[in-house]
Amino acid sequence: MAVRIAEYLGQRTDVDTPIEPVKKGALVQCPFMDRACDKVSKKIHPVCSVRKQDDTIWIVCEHRLCSTRQKKTVVFEGNTRQIDNILVEHQKDVLRQVAKLIYQDEQLLDSEIGIKREVNIPLPDSDNSYHADYVMRNFSGRGRVDEVLLEMQGGGETSSTGAITRHIAAWSELDNPTNEILRQPVPANTIETNAWRRQQEQFLVKGNVVDQTGGKIVFAVGSLLYDYLHKRFRNANLRDLKSHNWTLCILAFKENTEIEAQPGPIPLEIDKTKTLFTNYSTFVRFLTDQGAPRPELFEGDFLKLDNTKVIIAPNNHLLDL
């Protein structure tokens, strides 16, 4: 398997307008949020997304889909201080698309959509707490849906990150580092399984809190992660509650290929063919109630701690060797 670098510091690589390599540790602005690029600050190459062999986008930066960062550090009169980030146009566009879909209102104005970022969710009788990416409210007064917890998970990691790093390092050291060279295939692959595994616990806990509070949870993901989840729930016969009292929505973002490729970020849009509006509790029961009894798991060859062997036949019949 192989992937290609799709975006480098917010610049798509499938156009030939030259992309300038960024020096590690430099202070450069992220095009997707109102602060410096975290990857470059950490001396990591600023790869935002990669393409699979079928051209599907896989986001590899946590800030690419819709960053939740609230604060940034600025220097004022020789002193550093924390100030609030504004929402850049990319974030507004993503949040606006989500709001219009879940509130089913194409006439929503920006002034009618409210959000809070990185909202603390304490757990009673526990030392742990979670953070919601976004809490969203509808101030229009139209429609039945209002209180929403929104989680963003555009993608995740890849295998063979060393190969990707070496490829970009070699490109950046060339006398003529062209986009054609940057977008050459690299032997690596996307890891959808790990992306979902990292989300499961938070998905279950946050969703349960919101469900008990009377709100709804929305899980915005990349199209590849949606496909991975869809393989698990496609035979679950989950009810389509989009026009009714849904409590869970899973929606997918994809590349908008109708817009002609031009220098800058790859435009994203919600894939209207990849949305699920259903009941949160029913979905969770499906997730936790998979599999069937497998008595053969406890049969067969066993090695005892005294290094002798035994066979457990069906009906727990014991055969020493």
* Backbone angle region of 306, left / alpha / beta, with phi > 0 → left and psi within -120 to 50 → alpha: alpha
Domain CATH number, residue 108: 3.40.1350
Are 295 and 282 part of one and the same domain?
Answer: no
With vertex at residue 252, the alpha carbon angle to CA 250 and CA 256, rounded to the nearest 5 degrees, is: 160
Whether 117 and 68 have beta carbons less than 8 Å apart is answered as yes
Q: What is this structure's pTM?
A: 0.90
Are 284 and 295 part of one and the same domain?
Answer: no
Whether residue 238 lies inside any domain: the answer is yes
Whether residue 79 lies inside any domain: the answer is no
At 90-101, the pLDDT tens digits run: 999 999 999 999
What is the pLDDT, as a whole number, of residue 129?
A: 83
Note down the domain range covering 311.
Answer: 291-321
Closest Cα to residue 60, out of 164, 143, 203, 145?
164
Cα(290)–Cα(313) distance, rounded to whole angstroms? 26
What's the gap between Cα 294 and its chain centre?
34
What is the pLDDT, as a whole number, of residue 315?
A: 75
Are 13 and 124 part of one and the same domain?
Answer: no
Cα(135)–Cα(216) distance, rounded to whole angstroms? 10
Whether residue 265 lies inside any domain: the answer is yes
What is the pLDDT, as a whole number, of residue 320?
A: 66
Are 147 and 4 part of one and the same domain?
Answer: no
Are 204 and 285 part of one and the same domain?
Answer: yes
pLDDT tens per residue, the chain (321 residues)?
A: 799 999 999 999 999 999 999 988 788 999 999 999 999 999 999 999 999 999 999 999 999 999 999 988 887 777 788 889 999 999 999 999 999 999 999 999 999 999 999 999 988 777 778 899 999 999 999 988 899 999 999 889 999 999 999 999 999 999 999 999 999 999 999 999 998 888 888 888 999 999 999 999 999 999 999 999 998 888 888 999 999 999 999 999 999 999 999 999 999 999 999 999 999 999 998 888 777 888 888 899 999 999 999 999 887 777 666
User: Which residue type, as a one-letter code, is found at position 156?
Assistant: G
Whether residue 83 lies inside any domain: the answer is no
Domain count, the chain: 3
Are 224 and 201 part of one and the same domain?
Answer: yes
Whether 52 and 58 have beta carbons less than 8 Å apart is answered as yes
Query: How far are the Cα atoms of 107, 204, 301 from residue 296, in angstroms, in the given order?
Result: 58, 31, 11
What is the pLDDT, as a whole number, of residue 321?
A: 62
What is the pLDDT, as a whole number, of residue 292?
A: 81
Whether 117 and 34 have beta carbons less than 8 Å apart is answered as no
Are 278 and 162 part of one and the same domain?
Answer: no
- CB burial of 201-223 (b: ≥16 within 10 Å; e: otherwise) equals ebbebbbebbbeeebbbbbbbbb
